[in-house]
Amino acid sequence: MKRTKFVIGACFVGLLLGAGCQSYKDGGSRTVGEFTDDVAIQTKVKTRLISDPDVKGWPMNVDVHKGVVTLYGRAGSEALRRKAIAIAGGVKGVTRVEDRLTIVTE
Nearest to 43 by CA among 94, 101, 82: 94
CB within 8 A of 52, min separation 6: which ones?
83, 87
In a domain, 2, yes or no: no
pLDDT band at residue 73 under the 50/70/90 scheme: very high
Q: In this predicted structure, what is the pLDDT of residue 3?
A: 63
What's the domain range around 72?
26-103
Mean pLDDT of 14-24: 47
What is the DSSP-derived secondary structure letter of residue 57? Answer: T
In a domain, 30, yes or no: yes
Q: In this predicted structure, what is the pLDDT of residue 20?
A: 47
Query: Cβ–Cβ contacts within 10 Å for residue 79, how many?
Result: 11
Name the domain count of the chain: 1
Global pTM value: 0.71
Residue 98: helix, strand or coil by DSSP? Answer: strand
Percent of the chain residues topping a pLDDT of 90: 60
Q: Is a pLDDT exceeding 90 seen at residue 100?
A: yes
- Mean pLDDT, the chain, as a whole number? 82
Q: What is the CATH number of the domain that holds 96?
A: 3.30.1340.30
pLDDT band at residue 31 under the 50/70/90 scheme: confident
In a domain, 36, yes or no: yes
Mean pLDDT of 67-96: 96
Nearest to 97 by CA among 28, 49, 30: 49
In a domain, 13, yes or no: no
Counting Cβ atoms within 10 Å, is residue 49 exposed (0-12), middle (13-18) or buried (19+)?
A: buried
In a domain, 16, yes or no: no
In a domain, 93, yes or no: yes
